[in-house]
Structure 1
């Protein structure tokens, strides 16, 4: 993706539009698996892109040229998700406020990429946060183990362990006759 980095260096605004077009499906799919709720995932992905753009404004050309965009954007998304969860635990929830999802005439690529099996979504939600994040980063965002480790701020062995344990737990949750058991 050297072309994208070159475009960012040449013209941040136009280059970032290309970055959004290229990675919006990845970020939205990752956000869907993290949140399990389409409107929350859309908000999370949009906020991650906004934070990324703001950060890039302060980067010099050399730093932009050295970025591994996919991993960096997913890390920004993950950090934004953690901030959102942390903030939500500190503020009372609004009750009785229902916001309908917007209707779209035809499913787009992001919709197809983020459709989820309800059983899988429920099982993912039951994983410990670090295992869910590791599995989503590895198998939805398609980061390699080094990318997962960097995004989680852990060593590669620990990242491998989180992914492995998360997958094992998912298998157990999805194949157990009583799926409601913790």
Structure 2
């Protein structure tokens, strides 16, 4: 069995052909990246922008990587690192600009084939959770989202955030405790 046979399908596809492999990477991780971006930003449009920018930067980076670097890539942690860097930069830039008038926000379109009651319940729960996550300090919110929404192990979160694993565990624990106190988590 060759070393190439031991790789996950995404990394193998990236090594075989960057464009086709990237399509597989995108298909495998777009939901995860978007869900994380939505929980971090709290806004659908911002999450879409963050997701698009994450994959754009990922593609550009992959084009410059050699085979060994691609073979050793941990796609989920790598994409989360890219997303976190973009999100932090956007948050920094946004803090320097005056707030927008929210009345100019576009209204989200509704799919007519969708079960309206189920969609409303999901949206309400998601909005509630986003609101509660928004009340957490940034380091706790990020740690909770990466651990319980993205389902990254503590070691990968530590790598993404560039902090010790014990600090990750502390941020997750304190964030969950605070969410429970706010009534958002059981």
TM-score range, shorter chain: 0.7 to 0.9
Distance 1:44 1:171 in 2: 28
> How far 1:77 sits from its partner (Å)?
0.9
User: Which sections of structure 1, spanning at least 5 residues, go unmatched?
Assistant: 176-182
What is aligned with 1:129? 138
> How far 1:99 sits from its partner (Å)?
2.4
Q: CA RMSD in A?
A: 2.0
Distance 1:73 1:105 in 2: 33
What is aligned with 2:59? 53
Choose 35-44 or 125-134, whichever is displaced more: 35-44
> How far 1:73 sits from its partner (Å)?
0.7
1:142 matched to 2:151: yes
> How far 1:8 sits from its partner (Å)?
0.8
> How far 1:103 sits from its partner (Å)?
4.2
Distance 2:23 2:149 in 1: 22
So what's the TM-score if we normalise by structure 2? Answer: 0.84
So what's the TM-score if we normalise by structure 1? Answer: 0.85
Higher relative contact order (CA 8 A, sep 6+): 1
| Cα pair 1:33 1:136 within 8 Å, conserved | yes
Distance 1:136 1:89 in 2: 22
What is aligned with 2:82? 76
> How far 1:119 sits from its partner (Å)?
2.8
Choose 35-44 or 155-164, whichever is displaced more: 35-44
| Cα pair 1:39 1:101 within 8 Å, conserved | no
User: Which sections of structure 2, spanning at least 5 residues, go unmatched?
Assistant: 1-6
SS in 2 for 1:154: coil
> Larger radius of gyration, structure 1 or 2?
2
> How far 1:100 sits from its partner (Å)?
2.9
Distance 1:41 1:106 in 2: 24
Distance 2:112 2:61 in 1: 35
1:35 matched to 2:55: no
